[in-house]
């Protein structure tokens, strides 16, 4: 990151991380395929955010105080989206299947997560081209 | 099916922790995990790297530590009540990230989608290279998780619940024609 971290950004990342982790906990407990939903949602949001952000930067109109200022992007991408999506839980569950002998299931877990992530990120980037913020 | 959740793991704690208190602790741990990832990203900035190596290191170390925690919890089941949700789901789940890996691996769209991005400004990585990055992330993290589970179990001498699946204390009465698709253990 090139942004200098202000106290506000650090607090924002902490708040976003808290919200993302709680949302993921609730999804994992009460939704079927909750971690997959959390990861796919994270990819959708990050794809959209990066699409919007790059559209602004490529138009040479980087707002220093707008909705997509570097600080806000840091808070949302590092805090909320980074905490909402997770790598460790997917690794653990795949590893558990693998060492338990269910290797196809382990590969399947990763394949589903990755494909859903790609599709969601693509949709998010596509939406960012349609939605003007 | 990616996440098969058993409704009642045999070795789960008898009483579930109260949800509001758990949410509060997971929120604190999630904030700490996000700040830890941000701090490491500041110490080893990915800006200008061809591949997000810092994220790779974070994901491998986080997966390994979650495996370790799960391995220890296989021998100390009381950990599953508070410690595994707070440290596993909260701290390590928030510390590692999936969306950045996926978006960084996405093939660059015409018009330079990744130009000037905060964390993923690379020197035009090829799609094949980025797919290898994804493959390395997946294999190394899964291997780290498996190693963590094995080490955690070995350190605490757990024998009756291999790999912390939580639902294999009693050998399942598997029918002769039962397919392996239904034999997945509990997710936790």
- Classify residue B186: in a domain, yes or no: no
Q: Tell me what ipTM this predicted complex has.
A: 0.88
Q: Compute the half-sphere exposure of residue B73: CA atoms within 13 Å on the CB side of its CA.
A: 25
Cβ within 8 Å, pair A110-B142? yes
Kindly state whether residue B183 falls inside one of the protein's structural domains: no
Of B13 and B40, the structure prediction assigns the larger pLDDT to B40
Residue B105 maps to a domain: yes
Over 90: is that where the pLDDT of A131 sits?
no
pLDDT in tens, A48-61: 988 887 765 544 44
For residue B36, the tally of other CB atoms under 10 A from its CB is: 17
Q: Tens of pLDDT along B15-42?
A: 678 999 999 999 999 999 999 999 998 8
pLDDT at B118 over 60: no
Residue B115 pLDDT greater than 50, yes or no: no
* Interface touch B34/A105, C-beta < 8 Å: no
Q: Looking at the domain assignment, is residue B1 inside a domain?
A: no
pLDDT of residue A35: 96
**Range of the structural domain that residue B134 is part of:** 19-169
pLDDT (0 to 100) of residue B122: 44
Q: Name the residue among A18, A35, A99 with its Cβ closest to that of B30.
A: A18
Categorize the per-residue pLDDT at B129 as very low, low, confident or very high, splitting at 50, 70 and 90: confident
Which residues in chain A have their CB less than 8 angstroms from residue B31's CB?
13-15, 17-18, 21
B98 within domain boundaries:
yes
B141 lies in some domain: yes
CA B11 to chain centre: 21
d(CA B55, CA A50): 17
pLDDT at site A5: 77
| pLDDT band for position B99 (cuts 50, 70, 90) | very high
More confident residue, B122 or B43: B43
Residue B3 lies in a domain: no
Q: Which one has a higher pLDDT value, B12 or A43? A: A43
**Nearest by CB to A25, which of B23, B67, B187?**
B23
For A101-119, the pLDDT digits (tens) are 999 999 999 999 999 999 9
Question: What local confidence, expressed as pLDDT, does residue A11 receive?
Answer: 95
Confidence of residue B106 (pLDDT cuts 50, 70, 90): confident
CA distance B172 to A75: 47
B153 Cβ partners below 8 Å, 6+ apart? B71, B72, B74, B75, B162, B163, B164
CB B104 within 8 A of CB A44: no
B42 touching A (Cβ < 8 Å): yes
Instruction: Flag whether B187 is in a domain.
Output: no
Task: Please count the structural domains in chain B.
Answer: 1
């Amino acid at each position: 990151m090139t942004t200098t971290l202000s106290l506000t950004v650090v607090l924002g990342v902490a708040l976003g991380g808290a919200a993302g982790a709680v949302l993921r906990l609730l999804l994992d407990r009460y939704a079927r395929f909750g971690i997959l939903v959390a990861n796919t949602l994270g990819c959708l949001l990050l794809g959209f955010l990066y699409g919007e952000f790059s559209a602004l930067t490529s138009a040479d109109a980087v707002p220093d105080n707008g909705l997509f200022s570097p600080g806000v992007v840091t808070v949302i991408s590092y805090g909320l989206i980074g905490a909402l999506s997770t790598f460790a839980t997917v690794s653990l569950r795949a590893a558990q299947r693998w060492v338990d002998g269910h290797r196809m299931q382990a590969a399947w877990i990763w394949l589903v997560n990755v494909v859903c992530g790609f599709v969601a990120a693509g949709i998010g980037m596509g939406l960012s081209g349609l939605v003007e913020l | 099916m990616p996440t098969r959740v058993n409704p009642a793991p045999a070795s789960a704690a008898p009483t579930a922790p109260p949800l509001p208190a758990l949410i509060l602790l997971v929120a604190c741990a999630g904030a700490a995990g996000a700040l830890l990832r941000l701090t490491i990203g500041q110490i080893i900035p990915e800006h200008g790297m061809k591949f997000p190596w810092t994220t790779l290191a974070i994901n491998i170390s986080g997966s390994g530590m979650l495996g370790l925690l799960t391995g220890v919890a296989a021998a100390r089941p009381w950990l599953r009540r508070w410690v595994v949700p707070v440290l596993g789901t909260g701290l390590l789940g928030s510390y590692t990230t999936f969306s950045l890996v996926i978006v960084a691996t996405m093939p660059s769209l015409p018009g330079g989608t990744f130009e000037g991005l905060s964390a993923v400004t690379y020197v035009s990585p090829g799609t094949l290279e980025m797919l290898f990055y994804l493959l390395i992330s997946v294999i190394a993290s899964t291997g780290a998780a498996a190693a963590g589970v094995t080490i955690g179990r070995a350190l605490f001498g757990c024998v009756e619940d291999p790999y912390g699946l939580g639902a294999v204390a009693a050998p399942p009465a598997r029918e002769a024609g039962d397919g392996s698709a239904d034999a997945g253990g509990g997710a936790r």
